[in-house]
């Protein structure tokens, strides 16, 4: 006996409407359209830091995680070490899994570069490859936020000029070219 059930097809117009609605909500600044927050942590800092403070800030919706709705998935991963090329592969993997497992679009994913990446802090100076990672992520269609948890002591030291930025670099952290 043949099964007469019609095959299940995706209604592309419905998918496009859903994607358009999400894009409109994100463009208007509504963070409640975000369903996944991927958090990039410095691989070197992770030798010393567990990421607990970033996870806690996300859970409590403080610091750079304000405004996200309940039920948003938190996905932490490291940059993979200098120069951060792993970020592209892992962000793409998050997007594939979010699409496959949750039927989410890339526009519903926000990528945070944590404080250990974007600012001088007690672990290390700001990552000299930060702009490179931001460019890779944005080129691949991800919305990027620079910041996660920010320690009060580090913020105070930054405002006092205690931390020094890399000022002698010309075209990259390993560059010796004039």
The secondary structure of the chain as a DSSP string is ----PPPP---HHHHHHHHHHHHHHHHTT-GGG--EEEEEE-TTGGGT--SHHHHHHHHHT-GGGTTPPTTPEEEEEE--STT-THHHHHHHHHHHHHHHHH---GGGEEEEEPHHHHS--SS-SPPTTHHHHHHHHHHTT-EEEE-S---HHHHHHHHTT-S----S-SSSTT----
- How do the domains of the chain map onto residue ranges? 31-69+79-158
The whole-number pLDDT of residue 31 equals 60
Do 65 and 57 form a contact (C-beta atoms < 8 A)? yes
The whole-number pLDDT of residue 28 equals 58
Answer positive or negative: Cα dihedral of 40, 127, 86, 29.
positive
Do 117 and 19 form a contact (C-beta atoms < 8 A)? no
The whole-number pLDDT of residue 163 equals 75
pLDDT in tens, the chain (178 residues): 554 544 444 445 544 554 455 555 555 555 668 999 999 999 999 998 899 999 999 999 999 999 999 999 999 999 999 999 899 999 999 999 999 999 999 999 999 999 989 988 776 788 999 999 999 999 999 999 999 998 888 888 888 888 765 444 444 444 333 3
CB count in 10 Å sphere of residue 68: 16
Do 105 and 30 form a contact (C-beta atoms < 8 A)? no
Residue 59 phi, psi (nearest 5):
-60, -40
How far is the C-alpha of 123 from the C-alpha of 141, rounded, in Å?
30
The whole-number pLDDT of residue 175 equals 36
In our burial notation (b when 16+ CB lie closer than 10 A, e otherwise), range 45-54 reads bbeebebebb
């Amino acid at each position: 006996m043949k099964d007469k059930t019609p095959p299940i097809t995706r209604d592309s117009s419905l998918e496009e409407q859903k994607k358009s609605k999400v894009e409109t909500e994100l463009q208007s600044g509504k963070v409640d359209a975000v369903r996944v927050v991927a958090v990039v942590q410095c691989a070197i800092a992770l030798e010393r830091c567990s990421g607990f403070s970033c996870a806690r800030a996300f859970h409590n919706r403080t610091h750079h995680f304000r405004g996200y709705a309940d039920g948003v998935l938190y996905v932490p991963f490291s940059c993979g070490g200098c120069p951060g090329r792993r970020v592209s592969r892992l962000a793409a993997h998050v997007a594939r899994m979010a699409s496959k497992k949750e039927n989410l679009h890339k526009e519903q994913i926000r990528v945070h570069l944590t404080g250990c990446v974007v600012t001088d802090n007690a672990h290390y100076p700001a990552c000299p490859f930060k702009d490179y990672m931001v460019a890779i992520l944005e080129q691949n269609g991800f919305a990027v936020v620079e910041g996660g948890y920010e320690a009060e002591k580090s913020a105070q030291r930054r405002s006092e000029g205690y931390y020094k930025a890399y000022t002698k670099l010309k075209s990259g952290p390993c560059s010796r070219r004039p």
